Amino acid sequence: MMLKFLRLLKILRVSVRYGLDEIAISGLRKPRITKLIDTVFFWRDLSAPRGERLRMALEELGPIFVKFGQVLSTRSDLIPPDLQIELARLQDRVPPFDSDLAIAQIRKSLGAHPDQLFATFERTPVASASIAQVHFATLKDGRQVAVKVLRPGMKKTIDDDVALMHVAAEWIGNLWADSKRLKPKEVVAEFDKYLHDELDLMREAANASQLRRNFADSHLLLVPEMHWDYCSNSVIVMERMYGIPVSQIDRLEAAGVDLKKLSSDGVEIFFTQVFRDGFFHADMHPGNILVSVEPETFGRYIALDFGIVGTLNDFDKDYLSQNFLAFFRRDYKRVAEAHIESGWAPKETRVDELEAAVRACCEPIFDRPLKDISFGQILLRLFQTSRRFNVEVQPQLVLLQKTLLNIEGLGRQLDPDLDLWKTAKPYLENWMAEQVGIKGFMQRLKAEAPRYAHIFPQLPRLVHQALERQADKPADNAELIKVLIHEQQRTNRLLSAVIYFAGAFALGVAGLQLYLRYHQLG
C-alpha cells in the first residue's frame, strides 16, 4: 500500500510539474477549479506546447505510461491533432535488465539453464523494450535463433500502474464535460487488455505463426519460424532473421535494394493482409521491419514483433468495401449511409449533413496531382469529422488507420514520390470486384455449401415435428403454420434454384470442354 501511495505521489508531482492539469482545464465542469489551480501553482513554467509537455511527462513516468501514450496516439477520434502528433513521437527508452534475471526466467519457464538448452547463448541482449528483451542463441542442431524473454515482475508493475489509471479515469469522468464522448474508463480498459495480451508471449508466437502461414507462398514478406519446443508464456524462441533495418536508407541503397519497388511492395503487403486475410501486423513501425539482402530472399521485407495484430471480420470487410467503392465513385451519400446503417453513427444523424462533411474531407484529393495525395491525412480528417458526429470508431479500424499511417510514412521515406492512392487503387478495385461480382458469389456459395448440405435434408423433418407439436392448438397457431409452410416453400424454391444453377453451370463447363476438344482435334 505504501508503494502505491508513493507511486501516486510521483504521478501527481510529475503532472503538476508539466502542467497536465492545464490540458484538462478547458473541459472542466467547474470553472472555479481552474482559477484555484492557476493560483496555487503560479510558479510553473508552462511556455512549452501542451503536447510536448504531455509527452515529456509520460516519458518521465516510465514504460507503462509511455505505452499508454503510444496507444492513445492512435485514437485520433478522441484526442486533438496537436496532442496526437506529440504522442506519436513517444519511444520506449528502456535499459536492458540484468542477464542473470533473463537466465533465471528462461530456467523457470523452460526447465533448464540456457547452457543446457542451447549450444551457445549470448548474455548481452541485442534489443530491449518495456515488456521484453532479446538475446541471440544457437540451437544444438546449429540453427541460429532469437530468444525473447519477458521482463521480470512486469505483471505486478502493470497491475499497479493500470489500477492508478483506472482511478484517474474515474476522476476524469466526473470532472470533464467531454468525458461522455472521450470514454476515459473504456480507453483505460482497452489499454489494460492490450498490455495483458502483450504479457503472454505465446499469443505473440501464435500471431507470428499465423502471419507466416498466410505468406508462405509470398515473395514479398518473411516471418520468423517459431520453435514451439522452446516457447512458453514468458519466453519464446524464434528463427534468427538477418537483414538491414528499413530505416537505414543509405545501407539499403549501398546493398543495391530497389527502394521504389520496396515502397510499393510494402503497400501490397499491407492491403493483402487486410483484404485477403483480415489479419494484419498492426505495429509496423521501422524498428520492427528489416529488409533481407541474402541472395535467395533479396529485397524481401522481414517482419518482427507480433505482439499487436489487427483482425477484420466479414462485416468489417463489407463495411470497408462499401466505403471504398462509394469513395472511388465519389458517392459521399453512400459513405454517410454506410456509417449510419452500420450503427457507428447515431441513427438520428442527418445523412445530408454527414455527406457534406465527408465530401469536404475527400473531394479535395480529386483536384490535386495523385502524388500529392495522402491517404493518412484523409483518414485523420475523417476521424476528426467523426468526433463532430459522435461516430463510434471501432478499435480494429483504429488499428487499421494506425498501420496505414505507418505504411504511408515508411513508403514515402523509401520513395518520396510514392503515390499510395495509385498503388492501392488497382488492388482494391480487383478485390472489390471479386467480393461483389460473380466470383465472390461463387466463393461464398462454395464456402457455405457444407452447411447448407447438412441443413437442407433436415428441413422437412424439422417442419413436420414443429407442426406435430402444435397440432393440439390449431386455432391458436394457424398463423404460425402458414409461416412454416411459406418458409418450407421458399426453402424448396431456393434448393431447386441452387440445383438448377449448379446443373446449368456443370453442363456449360462440360459443353465448353467438348467444344474446345472438338476444335483441338479439328
Q: Is 133 flagged in the annotation as binding?
A: yes
Identity of the amino acid at 494: L
In whole angstroms, what separates CA 374 from the centre of its chain? 20
CA atoms within 13 A on the CB side of 155: 8
Quote the cell numbers at residue 5: 501511495
Quote the cell numbers at residue 288: 520492427
Q: Is 338 flagged in the annotation as binding?
A: no
Q: Is residue 229 annotated as a catalytic residue, yes or no?
A: no
CA–CA distances in Å: residue 480 to residues 52, 464, 466, 491? 66, 13, 10, 16
Pairing of strands 309-311, 279-281: antiparallel
3-state secondary structure 198-225: HHCHHHHHHHHHHHHHHCCCCCCEECCC
Q: Is 391 flagged in the annotation as binding?
A: no
Q: What residues does 237 pair with on adjacent strands?
A: 147
Q: Is 134 flagged in the annotation as binding?
A: yes
Number of other residues whose CB lies within 10 A of the CB of residue 345: 20
Q: Is 4 flagged in the annotation as binding?
A: no
Taking 3-state DSSP, the helix, strand and coil percentages for the chain, each rounded to the nearest 5, stand at 65, 10, 25
CB 375 within 8 A of CB 421: yes
Q: Is 378 flagged in the annotation as binding?
A: no
Q: Is 394 flagged in the annotation as binding?
A: no
Quote the cell numbers at residue 468: 406435430
Q: Is 127 flagged in the annotation as binding?
A: yes
Q: Is 482 flagged in the annotation as binding?
A: no
Q: Is 148 flagged in the annotation as binding?
A: yes
In the sheet that 289-291 helps form, which strands lie side by side, from edge to edge? 221-222, 301-303, 289-291, 244-245
Active-site hit among 283, 305, 316, 415:
283
Identify the sign of the CA torsion 153, 124, 212, 322: positive
Binding residues: 126-134, 148
Q: Report the catalytic residues.
A: 283
Binding residue positions for ATP: 126-134, 148
